[in-house]
Amino acid sequence: MPADRRTGPVVLLGFDAADPELVEQWAREGKLPAMAKLMSRGAWARTGGEELLFEHGVWSTLFSGISTARHGFHFFWQPVPRTYGLELKRGRDLGVVPFWAWLRGTGRSVLVLDPPDAAPVRGLEGTQVSEWATHSHYPPLPLEAEPPTAITEVRKAFGPREQIGEKIGASAVSDRVMVERLVARAARKGACVRALIAKRSYDLVVAIFSEAHTGGHQACEYRRDAKGDGPRPDAGLGDALLRLYRAVDDEIGRIVEALPPTATVFVTSSVGMLSQYPTEELLENFCRELGYQVSPQRAASSAPAPRRSVTSRLRGLVPERARNVVSKFLPFQVQARLLSEKFAASTDWSRTTVYAPPGYYTGCLRVNLRGREPNGIVSPGAEYDALLTRLEEDLHALRDAESGEPVIERTVRTRDAFHRDVHPALPDLIVFWREHDRPLRRVRHPRAELTQSPHAFHRGSHHTTEGMLVAAGAGVRAAGRGPDISPLSLAPTLLTLLDVTPPDEMTGPPLHDWLVQSPALSDTGR
Ligand SMILES: [Zn+2]
């Protein structure tokens, strides 16, 4: 049965990695008029909590309504449960489906354009295209569409496919070119969405703008209040970040204008941004220097094996090169398998209590737990708890050798955060480093000095653990700012608006407080 035309369509626009602090500030200052209008006419909140502890699975969580504790996706190169190996992980391989998959068989039609790391849902009425113009993934993801003719439709409305990846260490000239390309691409995507919704009506429209994500990383260091990795003048790029946000905001405004008054619009940012450099090698050295993670002894010598990080060798496979060239995908997979084997061989598991799987920015620590890891030596219960306590004390004792300041912001015990047993790929302890605008090269502990060399992914920005959700239109009350919400609430809320009962596997509560209950109020907020 088609949806009631008096209440549609439901629209979800993604403002990927738009920092909530900046959006709120710039909306207040009149610099993001479309966001300001939605916020003033509808309901909005920051998203946060345990579901945003890891940046990599955020879109999978937002779209599926399934907790990270269940799907386990937290880093593109993460541990394989019941082994000491690693695997390349992608959001589309988690066995969870985006919320629009639940519209199959309901007669409702969808327009879905560029959902991060989600493949088209087969057998769904409408137009779905993935990976047309996105924040490029590593390794690259294929262009896919449902039906296949949707590619022609999108090409006609958008122009040629345009994937833009981050360029680490690029010159200011190159960065300026990229910012301009991203600004132009946001306009193309907005025009594409408007052209497609003008052609036919959809019950659900999902379109994700990733220009503030790619461009946010690229422009972050030019902000006038950012010091960056050594002095870097703004090079005419001091307002680049605002320019990118404004470009997306303009398109949000134009899409809202093009919608019928019966539409309900949601805009979500996945996560915010902060200044940080990779800390991966420091955390591995922390585990090894303090005796948690023991390197294997060389067979013919009593000298320990070199401590050179095996995980960090993935750095040699320069991501931005590999992820932009699909033909490199297979060799990359082969190299990743070899690196996984090397990672497993880099440690004497019979003497290791805690180890550090890869994690460029947010640190992941795993306990070598008996009954879970193949050669676990730490018993669950009191021994496990005491080990985590000692580990947290050691982490909080770390000081930047240059400034003397603490370097750890907070540590989070994964099971405590999720209040449940979690997916076996997830770490036991999550380590958040303080914001820092230059790389941490030397860090002191009372019993060791830890050093790290520059990471090949030498990028001075990472993500915060907060996003935002803004909604306005026919189905939403003018409720203003509400208390922080879980990203798990988005999917069941949108299904509720589409008159589909959220499945039991979606554990987040729909945002009933935001929704107009009575059709008589259906013109509120627009
Ligand atoms: Zn990012």
Tens digit of each residue's pLDDT (9 = 90 or more) over 276-296: 999 999 999 999 999 999 999
pLDDT of residue 225: 55
- Asked if 302 contacts 49 with a C-beta cutoff of 8 angstroms, the reply is no
Strand, helix or coil at 243?
Answer: helix
Q: How far is the CA of 214 from the centre of ligand 1 (A)?
A: 7
Q: How far is the CA of 464 from the centre of ligand 1 (A)?
A: 10
Confidence of residue 320 (pLDDT cuts 50, 70, 90): very low
Q: Which of 68-82, 110-124, 306-320, 358-372 has the lowest mean pLDDT?
A: 306-320
Token duo for residue 214: 């790619």
Q: How far is the CA of 459 from the centre of ligand 1 (A)?
A: 10
pLDDT of residue 437: 85
- Asked if 288 contacts 348 with a C-beta cutoff of 8 angstroms, the reply is no
pLDDT of residue 315: 42
Say if residue 522's pLDDT is above 80.
Answer: no
What Å distances lie between residue 470 and 33, 132, 266, CA to CA? Answer: 13, 25, 6
Confidence of residue 6 (pLDDT cuts 50, 70, 90): low
Q: How far is the CA of 263 from the centre of ligand 1 (A)?
A: 30
Rounded (10°) CA dihedral 492, 498, 501, 507 = 0
- Asked if 241 contacts 31 with a C-beta cutoff of 8 angstroms, the reply is no
Average pLDDT over residues 9-35: 97
Q: Largest Cα–Cα distance in the chain?
A: 82
Token duo for residue 415: 């099971």
Mean pLDDT value across the chain: 90
Residue-wise DSSP of 302-317: SSBPP---SGGGGGGS
pLDDT of residue 222: 81
Q: How far is the CA of 125 from the centre of ligand 1 (A)?
A: 32
- Asked if 292 contacts 391 with a C-beta cutoff of 8 angstroms, the reply is yes
Q: What is the rounded distance in angstroms from the CA atom of residue 268 to the CA atom of residue 264? A: 13
Among candidates 501, 372, 423, 428, which has minimal Cα distance to 67? 423
pLDDT of residue 457: 85
Between 240-258 and 211-219, two packed helices, what is the crossing angle to 10 degrees? Answer: 170
- Asked if 515 contacts 7 with a C-beta cutoff of 8 angstroms, the reply is no
Q: What is the rounded distance in angstroms from the CA atom of residue 12 to the CA atom of residue 274? A: 25
Average pLDDT over residues 359-374: 97
CATH code of 10-275+463-521, in short, is 3.40.720.10
Question: 366 or 239: which carries more pLDDT confidence?
Answer: 366
Average pLDDT over residues 389-406: 97
- Name 5's Cβ contacts closer than 8 Å, sequence gap at least 6: 201, 262
Say if residue 124's pLDDT is above 60.
Answer: yes
Q: How many CB atoms lie within 10 A of CB 149?
A: 10
Among candidates 119, 100, 102, which has minimal Cα distance to 110? 100
- Name 470's Cβ contacts closer than 8 Å, sequence gap at least 6: 35, 38, 39, 42, 43, 44, 266, 267, 268
Strand, helix or coil at 359?
Answer: coil
Q: What is the DSSP letter of 463?
A: E
Say if residue 322's pLDDT is above 50.
Answer: no
Q: What is the rounded distance in angstroms from the CA atom of residue 189 to the CA atom of residue 159? A: 9
Q: What is the rounded distance in angstroms from the CA atom of residue 67 to the CA atom of residue 201? A: 32
Distance of alpha carbon 355 from the chain centroid? 24
Confidence of residue 50 (pLDDT cuts 50, 70, 90): very high
Average pLDDT over residues 224-233: 52
pLDDT of residue 296: 95
Q: How far is the CA of 54 from the centre of ligand 1 (A)?
A: 11
pTM: 0.91
Question: 362 or 169: which carries more pLDDT confidence?
Answer: 362
Say if residue 13's pLDDT is above 90.
Answer: yes
Among candidates 252, 246, 164, 161, which has minimal Cα distance to 205? 252
Q: How far is the CA of 103 from the centre of ligand 1 (A)?
A: 30
Say if residue 345's pLDDT is above 90.
Answer: yes
Q: How far is the CA of 410 from the centre of ligand 1 (A)?
A: 21
Q: How far is the CA of 101 from the centre of ligand 1 (A)?
A: 26
Among candidates 253, 143, 247, which has minimal Cα distance to 194? 253
Q: How far is the CA of 94 from the centre of ligand 1 (A)?
A: 20
Q: What are the boundaries of each domain within the chain?
A: 10-275+463-521, 280-459
| Structure-token match 């790290």, residue found | 452
pLDDT of residue 269: 98
Confidence of residue 467 (pLDDT cuts 50, 70, 90): very high
Q: How far is the CA of 505 from the centre of ligand 1 (A)?
A: 28
Helices and strands in the chain: count of H runs, count of E runs: 14, 20
Q: How far is the CA of 161 from the centre of ligand 1 (A)?
A: 21
Question: 299 or 101: which carries more pLDDT confidence?
Answer: 101
Distance of alpha carbon 162 from the chain centroid? 20
Category of 28 on φ-ψ map: left (φ > 0), alpha (ψ -120 to 50) or beta: alpha
Return the CA Rg of the chain.
23
Among candidates 198, 202, 146, which has minimal Cα distance to 10? 202
Phi, psi of 388 (to 5 degrees): -65, -40
Strand pairing report for 110-113 and 126-130: parallel
Confidence of residue 232 (pLDDT cuts 50, 70, 90): low
Confidence of residue 51 (pLDDT cuts 50, 70, 90): very high
- Asked if 374 contacts 85 with a C-beta cutoff of 8 angstroms, the reply is no
Q: How far is the CA of 200 from the centre of ligand 1 (A)?
A: 34
Q: What is the rounded distance in angstroms from the CA atom of residue 167 to the CA atom of residue 177? A: 11
Q: How far is the CA of 213 from the centre of ligand 1 (A)?
A: 6
128-166 pLDDT, tens digit per residue, is: 999 999 997 767 889 999 999 999 999 999 999 999 999
Q: How far is the CA of 178 from the centre of ligand 1 (A)?
A: 16
Q: Return the bridge partners of 444, or none.
A: 399, 449
Q: How far is the CA of 360 from the centre of ligand 1 (A)?
A: 11
Say if residue 329's pLDDT is above 60.
Answer: no
383-396 pLDDT, tens digit per residue, is: 999 999 999 999 99
Q: What is the rounded distance in angstroms from the CA atom of residue 183 to the CA atom of residue 135? A: 13
Q: How far is the CA of 8 from the centre of ligand 1 (A)?
A: 32
Average pLDDT over residues 252-256: 98
Q: How far is the CA of 90 from the centre of ligand 1 (A)?
A: 15
Q: How far is the CA of 525 from the centre of ligand 1 (A)?
A: 32
pLDDT of residue 226: 52
Q: How far is the CA of 134 from the centre of ligand 1 (A)?
A: 12
Strand pairing report for 10-15 and 448-451: unpaired
Strand, helix or coil at 368?
Answer: coil
Q: How far is the CA of 184 from the centre of ligand 1 (A)?
A: 20
Token duo for residue 453: 């060399």
pLDDT of residue 237: 87
Category of 36 on φ-ψ map: left (φ > 0), alpha (ψ -120 to 50) or beta: alpha
